Structures are given as structure tokens and as C-alpha cells.
């Protein structure tokens, strides 16, 4: 049992560090720290293009489609360094969510057309799963796709679509048959956002920002070649993708970075002459979280190591999602507590400098938006149902 | 032993409840918080007309002569509508400090104008470095020409932008953390040298950064003896904490009620989500948390009344309950707020629904005048040090 | 809103204090501190007889049957003083559990016969509700009572019967009809433990002690006059009793006493030169519990005040049971933590003195036996179901 | 990166698992703990024959030359049977301290007798007042006649009643709380002046109060330099903590497995209790707690191996993980133990069922060598002090 790095691993780590230090410059960091506005899209795309140029854009993909071919250890090193450098993860919808479905279940034409554009970040994807009437009960969806001629005619409404306002494509679960049981009769469609009849309506979330949207479909024509796999079998493809998605939700490297920033700030925040980092009670609040994170890091490594031989992750991946999101929320909450009365200000026309605590506004918005983490991607209640059934056999 | 409200209290409670129900829906509130001043002057005048602004003030100044319990009655109902008008900052905090001051001419001059709604006030105490320690004051008051000159910056001054007057903490002697040497001055917002920048806060209210740049004040503007401001603050703080806690209780019971109702109608997996045992037990836990919080508030109120009746016996039990109350608010507020969003799911994340706004006010109350850990430690200091 | 004591209340408080100080002597306290062995029964009975002589044995009963006629405030004062004096509550099975059923639903003959003997502690009662196959699902009981001639013939097995080894009488739920729905067809019987066919088998619990038993019934003849109310209606009577029982489960006065002892001990226990009571983290553990208890005390008062006008307690009483038992367990757990490595010793032939920490063995056994509190009297899960249904309407 | 056990480890793991499964059911254990000595000499000889007692010792003394990881492999499986034989006290603690000592003649004399099962040993360190501070020692070792005289009392000496030898902490210099001045002596249980009283502990094991009354020892009995005992203890403590934690993990996974199985068969309200969503989610939470604990153990083991490979790099990361591990054990042990009893209901409260015995051992491990809070504070000291 060891997580020793070989000489090659250490050399790889140095290469990653060097690359991040050189390419992820202060300007990029600044643009990406605000998670909305026009800047964000161009900033993250320009960063992803750099990663693509380096060949590092898709560590999770099979090598034949453009993956890195890294070992589990190399992936761990890469993620650890990315988190430590404060670099955001790639936008997942294309690279981590639809791409595995395309390269696993898609036709050769679909692979040839879509995968390169995902790798190069030329296409921005969004996810059309949730519907107003179907939240955690994903399969209760009612958006329909009627087959007529060589097209599907899509009608319905998707909701909670993150960054739909930037998207070129949306991958959707749609109902192609009403005769069958709920999970059957669902198909997996790729839809061009430019198609007539597609409209995007913004949703302002409780952090006061616009990341979420509704996407409406009114008689939208989708060519047959945009169907993934077989008609009515979409649920199978989506399910495989969900387990994949969950393994990415532990976000250990990002939580480590947040926690390390939190500790720095706790050393600077002073209450009655004592830095918060030296307060025994605050220390307990910190270590309650840090210890869970230390354990989760190894839980994730254990899952990755067991996947190293190949194959999709099992239902244990739900554990990573549950624990990862709970830890992220706990850090956000503690950050808000640390920000004290300074954390309530909406920025408006005030700069962070004027408020005197430059992380306080961020603490507020991260806390508020962070509440979504236990809701999306299959709520944590659903994840517990999954473990109860599939792991414990209850 | 009784836990009933008096007839007068029931009347004012019903009056506030009626206002919130009939006049203050989430869209009305949204318009107000996005308006230029961020409060409704019209509603404020209504509050004055209905007598709500007079509650804590002595009858000799035209007040209702109310108790901490009376304030709590008003605040719980205001909480149910997350009313953003500056009741806590003007009436409870600014007004409370003024009412407890020994400067009678200041009281005579200002209290009636609070009661009639013409004077909004705010307590300017927080500084960039001070966090929860109110005595941590670097703003200075230096004696000059038979008065004092105030220099310094106050931050997150609640509803500072609409305040006509401030009560300001300034250091007239001593070192940064000393309780001795903090003085309280009443300063006109229009006074020379006062400037501010106002902004919205997460709870829909407003706050301001206020600069005091060579602001001249006289002895007449001192609320009590020079350098003894902390005594006055310590005396008034419990009632501010009770008021905020009562508001929080109103928010919590509302969040719970909305969530339980929603769970009965929202369908998932072919059945209302309220039929899932896991969610039922969690709603039971939020119900219990709310009832326990209410009990802690009532404990505080009973002991406030006891202290008012027997001031010589000291306020140790009252203080103990108040710190416990504020710490409880932090815990149950976090539980209830987070569960309300979680049980609503995606819709709970939207700005459009009322849920998030209630939660944001709860989070703000949590960190106002000390968060849960801060007050629990105060509780510990009072009770455990051997 | 106030909890002010009138001059009469204060005089009453003094009377209670005087009585307890005078009558609950050190010898009694010593005998009652061990919760098993032959001494326990005679000690608690002798104490209850003193209370009876004083007229204070049954504060919860209507005055006409021997209750005290106290106001809610007086009851609160009595309980507070009892807890503060470290005096155990009366054994509940007769005085608090079967008696309310008898005086509410019993015949005049039953009242005349049983109530005086309960008041005088001449009869020791135990409770025959649970069965091996029916735990939280009380109504699933299968002990049968067949009516034949003037008797019921009882067959079956009851379990978790506390202090059955001391009991003269047992009150039982038995099935008198198998035709009806589960909750119907149940009757409430009073059974003399001396009747042939009744046998008691001890159960040793995880604290190593014998408080619990199985009670077996083999063709036990029970005269018809020992039936409470109507045949097949027993569930109704039992349900009324359950809510009554729960209000007694908050045990605020006892928890206050335990907490105050815990604080004393924390002032005496020293780790590396610092008394535990001065340890900021231990202080938080303490106040987490103490604050909950302060709130619960007022929750209980609110329930009592609302019952002052008469009437049985409602489903809110489940809240008292849930919170009361959780707080008791939290105190027990903290006490065991405080006892550190000294808390693991079974006493055997060692005196407390030799172990050096005279509360340590008690901390262990209280913690272990205390686990039952969230299981018996309707598990806390069942109580949450009750609130969900009856209070929240879910 | 790999989290697999080596072939040798898998063999010994299977061997211990087979023993627990085939030979050590709850009734066998009950007979042993109620026997006079409270342990089975026969089984201990089996352990010796199977080589388990040799695991941590160097090959030059006839040992297996094993690592912390090897000990953890054995302990996790022993935990699954809550084996009461004194593996932790004799092999891991007493043996560990001896193996790390600089007194080679003592090692040559005693280690082989541990390995062959003939010598049982115990570490006598706890005093009435010392709680979790091992350096808090008032037992004295006073120089006399070219040796030392030990006087004092040790309490809760684990398996002291069956120990042939003790390693004793005694103060040869310094004040009560000083780390400097604590010396480690090996004392024969039969030595003049040693007397003890043995009793059962809640976990079914035994402990003793041991009196040292003018017990004479020489330099030959010193484990390392006079007054430097704490250095040796600090060096060995992480491996003791890992061993106990591995045992606890074995207990937790067993409790979870038994509880999940029980919930599938126990019927209430006409259905297996495992079908209730509330209980399902709670079993998921105990499952997660167990997995997280396992991860923390593996983290500790990886870092133990790293430290063994690069001792010059220091053991800071290893120590950090070990304190976090012991604190995690306390939290997950409490959760898993209490849920196991609660989900079993009444039957979980009986001495007859195995559940309670597993829980009592967990509770004992929790407070052994420092409880959760103690180790979390050590973790905090290492990581946060600014």
C-alpha cells in the first residue's frame, strides 16, 4: 500500500507545475474569479484552448479519442496541482458529460464530428435533463420528440440549465414513446441551440447571479443523425453518464484549495486581539472539515485505483458526490462565518477594497450558490437511495 | 406561570400580522429593495401612525412604554414578512441606546421624531478590524475647543444611507481593545465631515461605509459620560439581541410552514415528496428546532420581565438566556434555512421564490452583533469558568 | 408572559425543600444509587410510602382519586426540587402508566380496588406491551386471550418488561379477536403475577445488569373483571396512555441534576494541568447540551401550561420524548468522555475508591443502559412519524 | 499508487479471518472473558504457532520484520471477532516499546519470549490523575545503591493481571507534567514490591491497579536513557494508535454488516425495517462513515510507509494523519455503535446479542491513549497555530 511517486511521476508533477505557472497568468485568474458576465466565457475558453494545445484537455477520455493516457497517479497529480494553483476545472458539460456518451454510444460520424470540437472548445455544450415537473425524479420528464420524416420534432421545457446562455449545443433526454414504462421510451438527442424554436430564458439564482436558465423547445426540428444510440434507450446511456459525473463531484482538489485559503484568512481575521486561526473552537470547526477532506481524498484515490483496470465507476461514486458536496458546503459556511458582518454586502458599485475584507462578498455568493451542490446532479437524497439499493441491497 | 400575550400585545401582534399578510408580499418587497432608498417611506409613516415606532419609548416622550416582550411581539411578525424597513436599526438599536442614555435633552429632542417617523437613525460601531468586539474602536474623538473632533471610518452601518442621525462609537481614551474610553456621540448625518457610500446587503437591506472626517461634536451630543459608552451598549445589547432573535423566529416558522406546504403538493416519483419518510423526519427536526427556539425566546422574555421587576437581583440569568438564545438562533437558523432550500430543490435556488430571501435574512441575523460561536463562548464564560 | 412564583408558590417550594432534606436521607440515597439488587425495591418502596404519607405520591392524578390538586407551577416546582435534590422519580408503571388508564376507563370496582394499593405502593406493577415480534410496531402483538366461562385464557410472551421480577401485577395488551384490523381486537387486561402459568425470565442488558425480563403466559386464567373497559377496545386506552407517558419522558429535572454533577466533575478532572471545565472545547460540548436543556425546560412548561385547563396532552408530547431522551443520552455520553480511561472498569470487587474516579463506573453503566431511552416508550423514529402525521399533516 | 495488500499480508489476513470465523464465536468469547484469567492461553499459543506474535519484531530476534501496515492487517481482522487476547497490550504496546528501545540485551532476552507466547507484557503508565497526559507522572524512581527504587501506583493497566512483565513510567527527575525526567523500566511482575488487583473492563478485557512499593531496578532494566522515556513513547505511540484504529475499523465494518443484515429480516409494520427510507439513509451514513474511516487508516498506512522509506523527511505528515485517524475513529465509532444498537431496538440492548459487545470495545478504544477531542486538538496544534 503506497502512493509513492516514481521518478517519472515527479518529473510529470514538475511539468504540470511549470505549465500552470507559465500559462495561467494573473489576468486569466482575474477574469475567471467572477463566475458570470461575458468575460467568463471567453476567459475559460481561452484557457481550455491552451490546455488543448498542450494535449491535456481530456484526461478522462480514452487515448484514441484524444485522452492523455495518464496513469491514475498522473491524474491524481494533475488534479492536485490544478486545485493547488487555484485553476478552475474545465466546463464539464462537453468534456466530461456528453463526450463519454458520444465516444461510448455514438456513431462513427457523431464521434468524428463532435469530439474534436469538444476537445478544441469550439462548441459549448449544456445539459437538458431536468424539467419543471421532474427534478430528482429525472425519468418523469415530459419533453417530447415525435419522429416524422427524417427529423424529430421536439416540444417541451428544460430547466436549471447551467450556462445555456453560452451554449452552441444541448444534449437532451426526450420522451419518444408514451407507451412504455417511465424509464423506457426516453431517447438521447443532441440539439443545435441555433435551431428555430429554441429559446433560452434566464433564471436569477439566490446569489443574485445568472448561471441558470430555462430552455424552451417549440416544434424544434432535430435531424435523425443527432440521436445517440437507439431510440427509446436513452435512459441507459444517461445512467452510465450519471455515475461518471458523480465521480467528478468530490472536487477534492478544489476543496483543498478553498480550505487552505480559509486558513490564511483565519490567520488574518482578528477578534478581540486573537487571530481566529488560534481560537480553539474555530480550530475544531476547521479540523472537523479538514479531517473529512483528508479521508475523502483517499476515498477518491481508492475509487480511482479500483477503476484503473478500466470500466465505469460503480454506485460507490454516489459516496463521492455526497461527501464531496457536503464538505464543499461546510467550507463555504465556515467562510461565511469567518466573514462575519462583512460578508453580507452585495458588491454593487463598491470594490472589495472599500469593504475591507476582500473575500467577504465571495464568501456570501459562494455560500448561497453552493446550496445547489446537494440538489443538482441527482440530489444527495437520491444518491443515498442509490447506495441503499445498489450497495447495501436494501 | 403564563406564556400568553396580553390583550395589548395581541392587538399589536395582529396589527403587524395583518400588515404583513395584506400589504407586504414578496413582489412589493422586491420593489422596495430595488428602489432608490431601499425602504418605503410610505410604509414607515404607516408604522408611525399605527404606533409601532413608539413601542419601546417612555410615555413622557410620547412612547408606548413597552417592554422587551412588546418589541419581540412586533419583531416576530415583521420577520414573517422579512420587512426591510429599518425597525431594528432605528427603533430598537438607535432608539434603544438613546432611550437608555442619561442625556435628557437629547432624548427630548430626538425620541419624538423617531416616534413620528421623521427621524431615521443608525448605530455606527463596526470598523474594518473590529469584527464582533464592539470595544475594538480605532475611530478617535479628540478634545478640542470645548468639544471633540471625530475621525475614522465605520463600516456596514445598517441603513446608514437613509439615517438622519448616527450614534457613533469613538475612542476618547485608552487603547484599541479597551472597554474604557469608548464614547457614544450622536452625530447628524448632514454634519460637516460626514460622508458615506451606501450599498445593498444580501438580506435586501442597505448598509453604508461612513467616513467621519474632522467632525466636530460637543458635550451635548454625548449619550452618557465620556468614555463610558460600553456600559450603555452592554445594557442595551440584550434587547437588541432579543429583537433580532424574535425576528429570526418569525422567519423560521414561516420557512417551515412554506416548506411543509410545498412538500404536500410537489410531486416526485408519482407521490408528494412529503410522503417520503426521510423528508418527513427532517421536517420534524426543523419543527422541533423551531419550537425549541421559541422556548428559548420565551425563556429570555420571562427573564427580561423578571429583571425589569427586580433590577437589584441583577441580570445574570437574563444575560445567560440571551447569549443562549442568540447561539440557538444560529444553529436552528442554519438548519431550518438550509433544509428549506434543500427540500424545495431547484426552485429553492431561485431569486424569484421567497424562500431564498428569508434564508438570506436569517444568515444576516446570524452574524449581526456576534455569531453563534461568539455568543456561546460568552455563555460559557458566564457559566463555566472555574 | 412570566414564570413568577407567588408568595404561596415560594412557601410551597420551601416546604418541598424541607421535606426532601429531612426525609430523603443519605442512607436512602445510597440504597437507591444502585439500580438493582433486592435493596432497590425495598428502598424505593419505603421512599414512595413516605411520599404517600405526605400526600405527594401522585401529582398527576385527579384530586378525587388521590392527586395533589397542584397548579402547573406547583408541579414544576416539585419536579425541579426533586431533580435538584437528586431524588429519583417514582416507579412509573403503577402510578403514571396503569393508574391513568384505570381512573379514566376502569369500573368503580377496579378503581376502588387498585388505585389505593397503587398510591400506597403495596402493589408493584409492570408493563406488558412489547412482544418479540412486535417492537415499535406495538399493534402487531400476538399474545392471545380467549374468553371462556368467566375467564380469559392468556397465552403468549411479553418482552423488555422492566422490573417484572419485582412485580405483583402486570397490565397487558392481548389479542382477543383475530378477525379485526390490527389495532382492533386488542384488549387491556390486568394480570396477577402470582397466577399459575406466569413465569418471568431475566434478560441481562448491555450494562451487565438485570432490569429487563421476558414474561411468559401459559394458559393463564384471568377473571373477566380484570378487563379494562370494553373487549377489543384496548388499543384506544393504550394510545391515550402513550401520550401521557411521553410527557413524562422529558426528564428535565433529572437532566439538570446530571448536568450540574457533570460540571462539578469537569472542574475536578484535570488534563495536563488544566481542569476540563476550563477547556474551551469541552465548554462548547457542555453548552451545546445545556442550551438545549434550557430550551426544553421551557418547551415542557409551555406544554404543561397549555394542559393546565385540563385535557390530555397532544402529539406535541412526542417532541418532549425525542428531545428529552436525546439530551439525556448526550449528557451520558459526555460523562463517559469525561471519565476517560477510568470509565471502562466494571466494578467487580473493586470499590469506586480504588479506581480513583468515583463516578466512572456509573458513567459507563448509565451510558450503556441509556441507549434504551431512544428505543422504549415508542422509539424516537416512531415519535417522529407521529409528529409528521399528527402535527405536520404529512 | 496502490491500495492492495501484499501476498504475505493477504495470507496472514486470511489466517486471522479464518480463526475468527471458525474458532471465535460470541459464546466462545463469553466463556473466555468469564474465565479466571479472562484470556485463552490455548488460543495465545495458537497465535504464536501461526506466527502472529512475531509480526512487528526484527528478524534478528526471530521476528517477521513487519511494518505498521502488517500490524494493521492483523488488528482489523482481530477486531471483527473482538478478540480479547492481549495482542495490543503485549505485542503492539509492550512489544513495540521494547523493540524501539536501545537496550539490546533486554531485547535479546525478552522479544523471543513474546514471539513464542511465553511472555505477556503490559505498559503501566496511567495514574489516577494523569488522564490523557502520559507525561503526567508522579510515580517516582529514586537513585539508590547503583540502581533505582520505584514507588507509586498505576491504574487501568491493560491485562495487567496476566502480564509477566511491565514497562513502567516513573519520574526520575523534573516536575509532575515535565516530559523530561520520565524513565521507562522493565519490571518483572513477580518482583518484590509489585502487587496488583485485577478486574474486568466493559469491553470484556481485563485491567489492573498495580502498586509499586519500593521496587528495586537497575540500569539494565532501563529501556533507553534515563529521563528520556517520553521520546521512546512518542516514537511508538503512532503505531499503537494505528493498531487500535485498525481494530476499530474491523469492529465498525462488522457492526454495519450485522445491522444491514438484521434490517433485511426484522419485520415491523408488515415489512422488513430495512425498507424504511429513514433507516436506509442512516445505514448509508454509517456505510459512508466506515468507508471514510478506512480511507483515513489507509492514509495513515501510506504515510507510515513513506516515513519508513524516508525517515530523514520527518514524520509530520504521518503524525497529522494518525491524530486525524484517532479523532475520526471516535466520531465514526460513536455514530456506528449507537446506530447499530438503535436499529436493532430492544434486542440490541441485550448482553446476549453480540452487538453490545462490539460497541463496548469501540467505546473503550475511543478513550484509549486519548479520546477524539484530545487527538483533534493535537492535530490542530500541529496544523493551525499561527
Digit-coded pLDDT (tens) for D94-135: 999 999 999 999 999 999 999 999 999 999 999 999 999 999
Say whether A124-237 and A7-90 share the same fold.
Answer: no
DSSP state of B83: -
What are B's interface residues with D at a Cβ cutoff of 8 A?
Answer: 276-278, 280-281
CA nearest to D275 within chain B: B277
Q: Which helix (H) or strand (E) holds A128?
A: strand A125-128
Contact list, A330 vs chain B (CB under 8 Å): none
- Per-residue pLDDT at D156: 94
- Per-residue pLDDT at C315: 76
Contact C175, C185 (CB under 8 A): yes
Q: Which chains touch A (3 or more CB pairs under 8 A)?
A: B, C, D
Contact list, A141 vs chain B (CB under 8 Å): none
Is B254 exposed, middle or buried (CB count within 10 Å of its CB: 0-12, 13-18, 19+)?
A: buried
Contact list, A392 vs chain D (CB under 8 Å): 260, 280, 283-284, 287
Digit-coded pLDDT (tens) for A226-268: 999 999 999 999 887 776 766 677 889 999 999 999 999 999 9
CA nearest to C294 within chain B: B296
- Per-residue pLDDT at C33: 72
Digit-coded pLDDT (tens) for A131-149: 998 878 888 899 999 998 8
| Domain annotation for chain B: domains and CATH numbers | 7-119 (1.10.540.10), 122-227 (2.40.110.10), 230-385 (1.20.140.10)
Sheet strands (E) in chain B: 121-124, 140-144, 147-158, 165-171, 182-188, 194-200, 206-218, 267-268, 271-272
**Residues B369, B355: Cα–Cα separation, whole Å:** 24
- Per-residue pLDDT at C18: 97
CA nearest to A364 within chain B: B202
- Per-residue pLDDT at C289: 98
pTM of the model: 0.96
Which of these is catalytic: A79, A81, A245, A290? A245
**Residues D181, D179: Cα–Cα separation, whole Å:** 6
**Residues D337, A254: Cα–Cα separation, whole Å:** 33
Residue D211 grid cell: 502498586
Kindly provide the b/e burial profile for residues C129-143, where b requires at least 16 CB atoms within 10 angstroms of the residue's own CB.
bbbeebbbbbbbbeb
Confidence of residue A353 (pLDDT cuts 50, 70, 90): low
- CB proximity A280 to C under 8 Å: yes
DSSP state of A218: E
Q: What angle do CA D328, C356, D83 make, to 5 degrees?
A: 45
Is A23 a known active-site residue?
no
- CB proximity C392 to A under 8 Å: no
Name D157's bridge partners: D208
| B268–A357 CB contact, under 8 Å | no
Q: What is the mean pLDDT of residues B316-325?
A: 97
Tallying the residues shown for chain D, one arrives at 386
Residue C245 grid cell: 407517558
- Per-residue pLDDT at C256: 95
- Per-residue pLDDT at A58: 95
Percent with pLDDT over 90 in chain B: 97
Domain ranges of chain C: 7-90, 124-237, 251-390
CA nearest to A203 within chain B: B350
CA distance A30 to chain D (A): 28
Contact B220, B105 (CB under 8 A): yes
DSSP state of B348: G
Residues 6+ apart with CB under 8 A from B194: B166, B187, B188, B210, B211, B212, B213, B215
- Per-residue pLDDT at A292: 98
Backbone angles phi and psi of D185, in degrees to 5 = -120, 145
- Per-residue pLDDT at C311: 59
pLDDT beyond 90 at B120: yes
Residue D15 grid cell: 489466517
CA-to-CA dists, residue B317 to B243, B300, B313, angstroms? 18, 9, 10
Digit-coded pLDDT (tens) for B226-239: 999 999 999 999 99
Residue D283 grid cell: 445505514
Digit-coded pLDDT (tens) for D242-299: 999 999 999 999 999 999 999 999 999 889 999 999 999 999 999 999 999 999 999 9
Contact C340, C265 (CB under 8 A): no
Return the active site residues of C: 245
- Per-residue pLDDT at D344: 96
Lowest model confidence (mean pLDDT) among B18-32, B82-96, C171-185, D300-314: C171-185
User: Strand A270-271 vs strand A186-192: parallel, antiparallel, or unpaired?
Assistant: unpaired
C-alpha closest to that of C214 among C317, C290, C130, C120: C130
CA dihedral (B194, B197, B202, B203) positive or negative: positive
Q: What is the mean pLDDT of residues D363-370?
A: 96
Q: pLDDT below 70 — which residues of chain C?
A: 34-38, 245-247, 309-313, 347-356
Contact list, B359 vs chain A (CB under 8 Å): 206
- Per-residue pLDDT at A183: 81
Residues 6+ apart with CB under 8 A from D123: D89, D93, D94, D97, D157, D158, D166, D167
**Residues D233, D97: Cα–Cα separation, whole Å:** 7
- Per-residue pLDDT at D244: 98
Q: What is the mean pLDDT of residues B312-328?
A: 96
- Per-residue pLDDT at A350: 63
Contact B265, B272 (CB under 8 A): yes
Architecture of domain C7-90: Orthogonal Bundle (1.10)
CA distance B69 to chain C (A): 8
**Residues D22, A190: Cα–Cα separation, whole Å:** 58
Tell me the CATH number for domain A124-237. Answer: 2.40.110.10
Contact list, C285 vs chain D (CB under 8 Å): 373
Digit-coded pLDDT (tens) for A26-76: 888 888 876 455 588 999 999 999 999 999 999 989 999 999 999 888 998
Lowest model confidence (mean pLDDT) among A158-167, A300-309, B369-378, C135-144: A300-309
- Per-residue pLDDT at A351: 60
**Residues D347, D344: Cα–Cα separation, whole Å:** 6
Q: Which CATH number fits domain C251-390: 3.40.50.300, 1.10.240.10, 1.10.600.10, 1.20.140.10?
A: 1.20.140.10
- Per-residue pLDDT at A239: 84
- Per-residue pLDDT at B328: 98
Residue B97 grid cell: 441606546
CA distance D312 to chain C (A): 31
- Per-residue pLDDT at C377: 84
Percent with pLDDT over 70 in chain A: 93
Q: Could you identify the residue written with the cell 447540551?
A: C289
Residue D74 grid cell: 492483523
CA distance D345 to chain C (A): 6
- Per-residue pLDDT at A356: 65
- Per-residue pLDDT at D178: 96
Terminal alpha carbon distance of chain C: 32
C-alpha closest to that of B355 among B345, B364, B367, B365: B345
Digit-coded pLDDT (tens) for D136-183: 999 999 999 899 999 999 999 999 999 999 999 999 999 999 999 999
- Per-residue pLDDT at C310: 62
- Per-residue pLDDT at B330: 98
Residue C318 grid cell: 412526542
Amino acid at each position: 500500500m503506497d502512493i509513492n511517486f516514481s521518478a517519472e511521476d515527479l518529473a510529470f508533477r514538475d511539468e504540470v507545475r511549470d505549465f500552470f505557472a507559465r500559462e495561467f497568468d494573473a489576468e486569466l485568474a482575474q477574469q475567471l474569479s467572477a463566475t458570470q458576465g461575458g468575460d467568463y466565457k471567453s476567459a475559460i475558453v481561452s484557457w481550455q484552448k491552451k490546455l488543448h494545445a498542450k494535449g491535456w484537455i481530456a484526461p478522462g477520455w480514452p487515448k484514441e479519442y484524444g485522452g492523455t493516457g495518464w496513469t491514475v497517479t498522473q491524474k491524481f497529480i494533475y488534479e492536485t496541482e490544478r486545485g493547488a494553483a487555484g485553476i478552475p476545472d474545465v466546463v464539464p458539460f462537453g468534456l466530461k458529460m456528453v463526450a463519454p456518451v458520444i465516444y461510448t454510444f455514438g456513431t462513427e460520424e457523431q464521434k468524428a464530428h463532435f469530439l474534436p470540437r469538444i476537445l478544441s472548445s469550439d462548441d459549448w455544450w449544456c445539459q437538458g435533463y431536468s424539467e419543471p415537473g421532474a427534478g430528482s425524479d429525472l425519468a418523469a420528464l415530459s419533453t417530447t420528440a415525435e419522429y416524422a420524416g427524417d427529423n424529430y420534432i421536439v416540444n417541451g421545457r428544460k430547466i436549471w440549465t447551467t450556462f445555456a446562455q453560452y451554449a452552441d449545443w444541448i444534449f437532451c433526454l426526450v420522451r419518444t414513446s408514451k407507451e412504455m414504462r417511465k424509464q423506457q421510451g426516453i431517447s438521447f438527442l443532441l440539439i443545435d441551440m441555433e435551431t428555430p424554436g429554441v429559446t433560452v430564458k434566464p433564471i436569477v439564482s439566490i446569489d443574485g447571479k445568472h448561471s441558470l436558465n430555462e430552455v424552451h423547445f417549440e416544434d424544434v426540428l432535430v435531424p435523425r443523425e443527432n440521436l445517440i444510440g437507439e431510440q427509446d434507450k436513452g435512459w441507459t446511456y444517461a445512467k452510465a453518464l450519471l455515475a461518471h459525473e458523480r465521480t467528478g463531484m468530490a472536487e477534492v482538489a478544489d476543496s483543498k484549495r478553498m480550505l487552505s485559503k480559509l486558513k490564511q484568512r483565519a490567520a488574518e481575521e482578528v477578534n478581540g486581539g486573537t487571530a481566529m486561526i488560534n481560537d480553539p473552537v474555530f480550530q475544531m470547526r476547521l479540523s472537523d472539515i479538514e479531517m473529512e477532506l483528508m479521508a475523502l481524498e483517499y476515498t477518491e484515490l481508492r475509487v480511482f485505483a479500483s477503476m484503473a483496470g478500466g470500466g465505469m465507476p460503480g454506485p460507490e461514486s454516489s459516496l463521492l458526490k455526497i461527501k464531496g458536496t457536503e464538505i464543499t458546503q461546510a467550507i463555504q459556511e465556515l467562510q461565511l462565518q469567518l466573514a462575519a458582518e462583512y460578508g453580507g454586502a452585495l458588491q454593487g458599485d463598491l470594490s472589495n477594497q472599500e469593504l475591507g475584507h476582500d473575500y467577504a462578498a465571495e464568501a456570501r455568493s459562494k455560500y448561497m450558490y453552493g446550496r445547489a451542490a446537494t440538489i443538482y446532479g441527482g440530489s444527495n437524497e437520491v444518491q443515498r437511495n442509490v447506495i441503499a439499493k445498489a450497495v447495501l441491497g436494501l | 406561570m403564563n406564556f400568553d400575550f396580553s390583550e395589548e400585545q395581541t392587538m399589536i401582534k395582529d396589527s403587524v400580522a395583518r400588515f404583513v399578510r395584506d400589504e407586504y408580499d414578496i413582489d412589493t418587497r422586491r420593489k422596495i429593495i430595488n428602489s432608490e432608498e431601499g425602504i418605503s417611506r410610505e410604509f414607515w409613516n404607516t408604522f408611525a401612525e399605527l404606533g409601532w415606532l413608539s413601542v419601546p419609548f417612555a410615555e413622557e416622550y410620547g412612547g408606548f412604554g413597552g417592554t422587551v416582550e412588546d418589541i419581540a411581539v412586533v419583531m416576530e411578525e415583521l420577520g414573517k414578512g422579512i420587512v426591510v424597513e429599518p425597525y431594528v436599526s432605528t427603533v430598537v438599536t438607535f432608539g434603544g441606546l438613546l432611550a437608555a442614555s442619561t442625556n435628557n435633552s437629547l432624548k427630548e429632542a430626538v425620541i419624538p421624531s423617531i416616534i413620528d417617523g421623521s427621524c431615521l437613525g443608525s448605530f455606527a460601531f463596526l470598523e474594518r478590524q473590529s469584527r464582533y468586539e464592539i470595544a475594538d474602536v480605532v475611530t478617535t474623538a479628540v478634545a478640542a475647543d470645548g468639544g471633540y473632533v471625530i475621525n475614522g471610518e465605520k463600516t456596514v452601518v445598517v441603513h446608514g444611507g437613509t439615517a438622519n442621525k448616527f450614534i457613533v462609537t469613538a475612542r476618547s481614551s485608552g487603547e484599541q481593545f479597551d472597554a474604557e474610553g469608548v464614547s457614544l456621540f450622536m452625530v447628524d448625518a448632514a454634519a460637516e465631515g460626514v460622508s458615506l457610500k451606501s450599498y445593498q446587503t444580501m438580506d435586501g437591506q442597505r448598509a453604508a461605509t461612513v467616513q467621519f472626517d474632522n467632525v466636530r461634536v460637543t458635550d451635548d451630543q454625548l449619550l452618557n459620560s465620556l468614555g463610558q459608552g460600553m456600559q450603555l451598549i452592554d445594557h442595551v445589547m440584550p434587547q437588541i439581541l432579543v429583537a433580532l432573535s424574535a425576528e429570526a423566529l418569525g422567519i423560521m416558522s414561516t420557512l417551515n410552514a412554506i416548506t411543509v406546504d410545498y412538500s404536500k403538493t410537489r410531486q416526485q416519483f408519482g407521490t408528494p415528496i412529503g410522503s417520503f419518510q426521510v423528508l418527513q423526519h427532517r421536517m420534524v427536526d426543523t419543527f422541533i428546532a423551531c419550537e425549541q427556539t421559541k422556548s428559548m425566546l420565551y425563556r429570555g422574555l420571562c427573564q427580561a420581565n423578571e429583571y425589569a421587576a427586580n433590577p437589584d437581583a441583577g441580570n445574570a440569568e437574563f444575560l445567560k438566556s440571551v447569549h443562549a438564545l442568540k447561539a440557538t438562533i444560529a444553529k436552528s437558523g442554519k438548519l431550518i434555512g438550509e433544509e428549506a432550500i434543500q427540500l424545495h430543490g431547484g426552485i429553492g435556488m431561485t431569486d424569484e421564490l421567497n424562500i431564498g430571501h428569508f434564508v438570506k435574512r436569517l444568515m444576516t441575523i446570524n452574524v449581526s452583533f456576534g455569531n453563534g460561536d461568539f455568543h456561546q463562548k460568552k455563555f460559557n464564560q458566564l457559566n463555566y469558568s472555574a
